[in-house]
Every structure is written in C-alpha cells, then in structure tokens.
Amino acid sequence: MSQVQEDRQDDEKGFLMAKKSLFKSSKRNPGDRKDFVKEERIEDIGFNIFKLSDRPRPKDTAGILVICCFSEFGCETVGAMYCLPRMIMDQPAKYRIVVGWSGREYLYRHLADEFWEIKPEHMWLREYARAFHHDSRNLSRLESELSKFGKVVPSAYMGHIAISAKCFECKLFWNTVYLDGLYDKKSCPRCGRENILWSIFGDVPYWKPRAVRIPDPSDSRMKEVGKYLGRNPVGIFARARKCYGRNLQPEFYVSLVELLREMGFEPVWLGEKVSTMPCPVDDVVDFSRMEESRDLESTFAIIKQCMFTVQFWTASSRLAGLMGVPYLLFESPDQIWGRGQEGIRRNLCDFGSRKLSINHYLNVYGDNRKGLEIVRRCVEEMQAGDYSDHMGLVDEQVARQMKEENSSRIGDS
C-alpha cells in the first residue's frame, strides 16, 4: 500500500470517528440489523397471581425470595430445571415467589410457593428478552419495585448461577466458563481446596442427571387437546422474532406443510403468539392463536402426542426435548458448537432423540427449495432411526472442525 493510500485511509477513519461523535447512530437489532424500536414506557405492569403451595407467605419480607425469570425461553427452561433448584438448595427455608412471563405457571408449579405472571397485554416485552437477562427498562424498573415484597433476585442472576462455581470452604462464587481455562481447574482459585460445586455450563455431564424435570402433562389435559390432532401429527414452530431476525418466509412454511402432508403427516401449528408467525395455511390447526395456548401444559400435551416437531433457528425445540419427543432443528454451527451457548443449553434440556441440521440462515432463506430438500432428507433419516447430525447448507469442513474442537466442552454425546 502506498503512502498516499495509507494517508487517505487515515483521513477516512478520522472522518468516520468525527461523524460518529457528531451524529449518534441508531441502535439496531443484532439479527436483521433493522432499527431498534424504542421501548414504550409502562406506568403500571399488572399481574395474575397463582398460589402454588400451602405454605403461608411470611410477614417478614426477609424470609421471601422474589425470583425474576424474564429471559428467552431457551434459558427459562435451563433456569427452571437447574438454576432455580440450585437456589432452593442454598436457601431451602425461603418462601419463593417466581415472577415471569404470562403462561409460564406450569414451569414453576412444582418449585415455587407463588407464581406472578405479567398480564398478556404486556407480553410484547418478550421482544426485549435475551439469554438469561433482558434489555427492558420497564422490566428493570419492575424488578426494583418488587423489593417491597422480599429480596429480589434479578433475571440476570440466573445466568450467573449457570456459569459460576461455588467453593464450600471459603464460599467463593466465581465464573468458570468465560475466564480462559479456569473451568478446567480442579481447585478453588482463592483457597486452593477442591470441595467445589461446579458450574452448570462448566460441567454438563455432572448436572444433566440432576435436572429437576418439568412434569408431564396430565392425562386429562392430553385428552382435551387431542381434538386438535390428526393422524401422525407433527408440530411446526415458525419463528417471528423482531429482535434477532432469522425468520423464514411464509412461503417456506406453505411448502413445508405441503411436504409433510405428502410424507403422510398432519401438521399442527404451535408456539407463543407474540413470537410466532401466524399459520399461512388456512386448513392447518393454528394452536398458537388459540386462548388455550397460553397454558404451557396444553402445548406440552399436544407435543407429547406428536411424532416429532420441526423448527428453524429457535429454541422451541426445547419443548419437545423436555418431553422426550423427537425433533428436527435447523441451526448455525456457531450457535451449537461456538460461543452461542445453544449447544450447552440444548444438551442440558434434551431427554430424547433429536436431529440437528447445520445450516447458515441466509443460505436457507435465499434457497427455500434446497432447505426443503434437507427437511425431507432429515425426516426420512429420522424415520429410519438415524438421528446423527446432518451438515446442510454450510461449509462442512469448518463446521465439523468446530464440532470436534468443542463437543466435549458443551457435553455433546
């Protein structure tokens, strides 16, 4: 590069830095890079309250934990099965109030004394949910105001539990996952002793058998939702998140329904209304738009009766995994074996057969036909009992190398 070219580059960098300081750039979504919609302020967030145990609520707020669970569903499930039980283990006598999203009572029924769900009209706040935390000013203010009812455990603390170990000797509580090499050590970095409860993300093989499983839906609920199911039912989850993008076209799902029907299945449309695309096929049961879908037990009851579920770049696979029902998931290699954490969370929450197809989102978005061919191939392999990982529209060599380097870390089998 000549000196003139270097000087020109320096001038351009200086101009861009000056422009950035003069004109504040718009905040954008990390997925589709669209401008971030400013959050509307809510003056009063209402609750529906469920009393789940016979224990009376203490008059002294010092005896109450108010545990906030405002995060993405893929992390909520890890929180319910691992993080919250670990908190209970540390403070078993505390009265537990879990505060979370509408329709989640079933996740916490066996763990909490009370569940407070925000009312359905506030569920648009789900767009501000992230992994083990949120970016919502309304929810941050709410978590502060809840301190009048007890000691508040903010949503982000669940993530701290997931990645932190505890020394029983000196009581140190420290991050074991993202500090380079630290999670490989066998002793406490402060006192040097080995009497340690290792982090959930740092020791998947240890924690997986200790999961506090989500209960199976009741027989009566299974019977109630059975009227929505046809012969050989298959659940479809169609992502429609505004924040991250990675949503496929309605036309893709029209063709997917046609494909599954051609293969002898009868699809049922599942998901949470606020983050699920409306079904684009009129004669498919769209359970995501029904009032009954607000009760998570009903969704679990449908999934328990499905042959399998299929989803693309979404943690909805967790619903089938928790119930031990097979599923097909399209996901990117970095999310599964890289720094995206989905590989760890998936392994912690899967209790049955699962089929993973590794594809880059834009490759499938840009070529629906090839994406559907992969769906057909994967379903045929599942029918033959082959649940091995499938390399689809992705650089296979790079993906396999990433898997080889990281499988042991995320607890892959």
| DSSP of 300-319 | HHHHTTSSEEEEESSTTHHH
Instruction: Return residue ranges of the chain for CATH 3.40.50.2000.
Output: 220-410
**For the sheet containing 233-237, what is the strand order?**
285-286, 266-270, 233-237, 308-312, 327-331, 354-358, 390-391
**For the sheet containing 95-100, what is the strand order?**
47-51, 114-118, 95-100, 64-69, 151-153
Is 332 in a helix, a strand, or coil?
Answer: coil
Instruction: List the one residue out of 85, 77, 130, 112 whose CA is nearest residue 322.
Output: 77
Instruction: Walk along the chain (413 residues) in steps of 10 and give the mean pLDDT of each run.
Output: 44 42 46 64 92 97 97 94 94 97 96 96 92 94 96 95 92 73 68 91 91 97 97 96 83 98 98 94 97 94 98 95 98 88 92 97 97 98 97 94 82 58
Q: 291 is written with which tokens? A: 């009032």
Write down the pLDDT at residue 52: 98
Q: Which helix (H) or strand (E) holds 50?
A: strand 47-51
| CATH number belonging to domain 220-410 | 3.40.50.2000
Write down the pLDDT at residue 189: 87
Write down the pLDDT at residue 43: 86
The conformation of residue 60, written as its DSSP 8-state character, comes to S
Cα–Cα distances (Å) from 102 to 68, 296, 314, 330, in that order, read: 13, 10, 19, 27
The rounded Cα 402 to chain-centroid distance in angstroms is 22
Geometric angle at alpha carbon 403, from 397 and 409, rounded to 5°: 160
Residue 369 sits at φ, ψ, to 5 deg, of -60, -45
Show Cβ contacts of residue 66 under 8 Å, excluding neighbours closer than 6 positions. 97, 99, 146, 147, 149, 150, 151, 152, 153
CB 134 within 8 A of CB 126: no
Show Cβ contacts of residue 22 under 8 Å, excluding neighbours closer than 6 positions. none
Helix, strand, coil share of the chain (percent; to 5): 45, 15, 40
CB 284 within 8 A of CB 261: no
Contacts 24+ apart (CB under 8 A), 56-61: 57/95, 57/113, 57/114, 58/95, 61/148, 61/149, 61/150, 61/151
**Cα 317 from Cα 299, distance rounded (Å):** 13
Q: 85 is written with which tokens? A: 């039980």
Show Cβ contacts of residue 150 under 8 Å, excluding neighbours closer than 6 positions. 61, 62, 63, 64, 65, 66, 95, 97
Write down the pLDDT at residue 18: 39
CB atoms within 10 A of CB 141: 13
